[in-house]
Amino acid sequence: MLEGKNIILGITGGIAAYKSAMLLRLLVKAGAQVQVVITPNGKEFITPVTLSALSGRPVISEFFTANSGEWHSHVDLGLWADAMIVAPATASTLAKMATGVADNMLVTTYLSSKCPVFVAPAMDLDMMAHPSTTRNLATLRADGVRIIEAASGELASHLTGKGRMEEPEKIVAVLDAFFDGCGSRRLEDRKVLISAGPTRERIDPVRYIGNFSTGKMGYAIARRAAAEGAEVTLVSGPVGISIDDPAVNVVAVESAREMLAACEDAFADADIAIMAAAVADYAPAECAGRKIKREHCDFDEIKLVKNPDIAATLGSRKRPGQILVGFALETDNAAEHAAEKLVRKHLDMIVVNSLADAGAGFGTDTNKISIQYADGRPDGIFDLKSKDEVAADIIDAITRL
């Protein structure tokens, strides 16, 4: 799918820049036209001569060529490109991209780009785990930048941990899958309902019962469905992320009952419903009108009542031709519990993940899933991937139904 695509390859000043030569070679081999934009520090790690030879194009680093005064237009570059990938993306460059510090050609080009942007972070594990890096990545993700997660392994410091730039072959596969999905628009004219995030069940005006869901998986599915041409209704519990896509209508809710009402409303016209939310199973029987003061509290237990099962409710009303997808997050016997839910809730497909798998579950940027089908086809089993990649796998499985 990269044949004929115009790609900006941004290279920054990190030891992983040596991998950029292989990434460039693979992109060109796949038929892409690649323009390298390198930061001044990046040239300390890999030479423009090497990159120019591989791309067949002069490498851009400065705003203008010193000996001729030729201006390099970041605006024209941004309009030319079908995609931009920054690999490696150092902590410094991520910070500049997140805050709009346009002090080099690469960041200025990013700020002018109209195309999808991908970043492949690479840095030492302490920098990777630092709150500022986490915050900057969250900002970029909220701005629509697609993060190709760093891998774990031995780093330049000889420490071992997360911070290695993903391998060039996998980066090319991510780009290829992106263009494959955008090109096919397999959900054109389809209405897709997606639930995401947690629900909160109020105890009093300041306390609630909930769970650790962040909504990342459901939001990733919504982005992918929209990229495939769907008209998406995203019923979202309280989360700290957002989505900026005119094809996605976000309906914000708090409690399980509010989520049920919103899902029932959207389900009537939906072709596909994907229940990715982590709905609280129980709610307090009563919500106090005022904050319960510990000093004056005269009870030592909270009476709970069962919340409605949203997926099962929709499953009981599913019309012929509708596709209903459920999720099962388990801690043990994941496959068995999921198989039971698949039947009981009248699902067409269930996505299964387990908290026993490292990197899966709540709050992570990655997930590891398997998929079970009601029609008896073999289970799909997938490796640990970024949630954007997992979303692509889920949408791909749905379209095959």
Q: Are 147 and 115 in contact (CB under 8 A)?
A: no
The residue annotated as part of the active site, out of 41, 211, 249, 353, is 211
Phi, psi of 244 (to 5 degrees): -120, 85
SS3 134: helix
Active site residue 136: no
Q: Could you read off the pLDDT tens digit of each residue along the chain, which spans 401 residues? A: 798 899 999 999 999 999 999 999 999 999 999 999 999 999 999 999 999 999 999 999 987 665 555 555 667 787 889 999 999 999 999 999 999 999 999 999 999 888 899 999 999 999 999 999 999 998 998 888 999 989 888 888 888 889 999 999 999 988 987 887 555 678 989 999 999 999 999 999 999 999 999 999 999 999 999 988 899 999 999 999 989 888 999 999 999 999 999 999 999 999 999 999 999 999 999 998 888 887 777 667 889 999 999 999 999 999 999 999 999 988 888 889 999 999 999 999 999 998 888 888 788 888 999 999 999 888 889 988 888 889 989 999 999 88
Residue labelled with tokens 């139904």 = 401
Q: Are 97 and 84 in contact (CB under 8 A)?
A: no
SS3 23: helix
All domains of the chain, ordered by start, with CATH? 6-181 (3.40.50.1950), 185-400 (3.40.50.10300)
